[in-house]
Structure 1
Amino acid sequence: MPRPSATSAPARAPRVRVPRAQREEQILFAAEQVFAERGFHATSMDEVAERVGVTKPLIYEYFGSKEGLLSACITRARTQLREATELSWASVGPDAPLSEVFEAGVRAFFEFIDAHATAFVLIQQEGAVASQANPLIEGIREEQSAATVATFRAAPGLGAVPDELLEGCAEVVIGACERVAVWRAGRPGVGVEDATQIVVSTVWGGLASLLAPR
């Protein structure tokens, strides 16, 4: 039986083709880490590609540009945040008073931030891709606002409140949560319950006034 030549190259393992959806998720996961660590401008597409183990042209093929990659990462983060909030609302129960639903949603927001710190760092970088003009990011922001309005609308006593007023209230709630999250980032002594009570005690009064007889 002939022996293999000493100079023959070792056999290469066959390449395993990864489905596109799975590969995109791998890229987004790695990119989220790099964007959070470096910031948008200092992030290198080469570093993202190296962490995933793919070529840089593949990332451009999937996402078009660095701005497109950041936009996809932010959209993913906001989607996860919205789903976590909606899950908290569902867990309270359909007959719970709005005050309990409201508090559960606020608490879920801060719990998500603590568990997904890099995702929140990405959300803070929306300005780097001009979110107001970005349909992906703006679309998921509108979904989050619409879900909040739908939760308010389901509460007894809010049926006659105009949509525009409820939409404005939703924006106030979302904005308050995000700003308090930024504020507490440098204050490790402010826990989830502390942040929740800050938002609830500050914002709930205005929302509760809509439940009063008109």
Structure 2
Amino acid sequence: MGNTSRMTSLQRREQLIQVGRALFAAKGFEAVSVEEIAANAKVSKPIVYEHFGGKEGLYAVIVDREMRALTDALTATLSDPDMHPRQIVEKAALALLTYIEENAEGFQVLVRDSPSTDPAGSFNSLLGDISMRVEDLLTAAFKRQKLSTKGVPYYAQMLVGMTVFTGQYWADRPKVNKEQLAAYIVDLAWHGLSRLDSKPTLRFEGQRAQQIAAKAAREAAKDAAKSAAKGVAEDAAQESDSSSTPASAEPESDPSSPVESEDAN
């Protein structure tokens, strides 16, 4: 086994964590076996059990470590309530993308389907905690802007979800650098946040939009009916005027006309 046999217990533990993280990131929890972990670490299966009690224990340690790293990175950016709202969005987006860039395998472990042994320690739980912090900041900002806070919990979920989902996409397709992607995210998020309506509604779809459209159609039909009725009335008035006008009298003979002159002769 070469140098691996001379590792200290702490070094062996770190090696197994690194091996397990790479395997879980590439294949997911269910597809990885203790045999595969041991083979990749060039140790026997009992060594894995000795340190972690099995793959579940190793997975839990890896997830806990990654969640701590990501939590620290994100909460640090959301700790200053006096920061400009746009700067908060910028720092949060950059913090997440930096974590993804520097901990690619760890991020893949977090976003993959995980065993439901500890829901409280799941990635979704972490995102829920982050969303609540964003919600607190948005609530304060909305109150300053005299906006309704009814939708704040949803806006917080949108911001976090948009950033995380985009980060997942970018992790597999890093065609732009971290700062450029953060600028894309912030551009979309900020222009939305800075132009929020106090009571937003759907314009073209949904029950209210359909009611408005139906009302507009009824009004248009009424106007069209009024115009048509007015046109009929005007036509009738014109016909009435023309029928009541007396016929023109026969024009008197012109005594100087050639015909009259011939009769006179």
Give me the TM-score of the superposition, normalised by structure 1.
0.68
1:174 maps to amino acid:
V
Compared CA separation, residues 201 and 74, structure 1 to 2 (3 A): same
1:88 maps to amino acid:
T
Match 1:197 to one of 167, 183, 187: 183
Q: Which has the higher contact order (CA 8 A, sep 6+)?
A: 1
Matched, 1:144 2:127: no
Counterpart for residue 40 of structure 1: 29
Percent of matched pairs sharing the same residue: 22
1:58 maps to amino acid:
E
2:72 maps to amino acid:
E
Structure 2 stretches of 5 or more lacking a match?
1-6, 200-265
Alpha-carbon distance, 1:76 to partner: 2.9
The separation in 2 between residues aligned to 1:28 and 1:108, in whole angstroms, is 24
Counterpart for residue 58 of structure 1: 50
Compared CA separation, residues 45 and 97, structure 1 to 2 (3 A): same
Q: How does 1:77-156 map to 2 (within 5 A)?
A: 77-90=66-79, 95-125=82-112, 127-130=113-116, 134-137=119-122, 138-155=124-141
User: Contact 1:161 / 1:210 at 8 angstroms: preserved in 2?
Assistant: no
Compared CA separation, residues 211 and 101, structure 1 to 2 (3 A): farther
The separation in 1 between residues aligned to 2:77 and 2:176, in whole angstroms, is 21
Matched, 1:157 2:144: yes
Report which of the two structures shows the higher radius of gyration computed on alpha carbons: 2
Compared CA separation, residues 158 and 28, structure 1 to 2 (3 A): farther
Counterpart for residue 187 of structure 1: 173
Compared CA separation, residues 170 and 114, structure 1 to 2 (3 A): same
User: Contact 2:75 / 2:130 at 8 angstroms: preserved in 1?
Assistant: no
Give me the TM-score of the superposition, normalised by structure 2.
0.57
Cα deviation, 1:125-162, whole Å, max 9, x if unaligned, reads 1x24259x722215433322223223334547269754
2:120 maps to amino acid:
P
The separation in 1 between residues aligned to 2:57 and 2:9, in whole angstroms, is 24
How many aligned residue pairs are there? Answer: 190
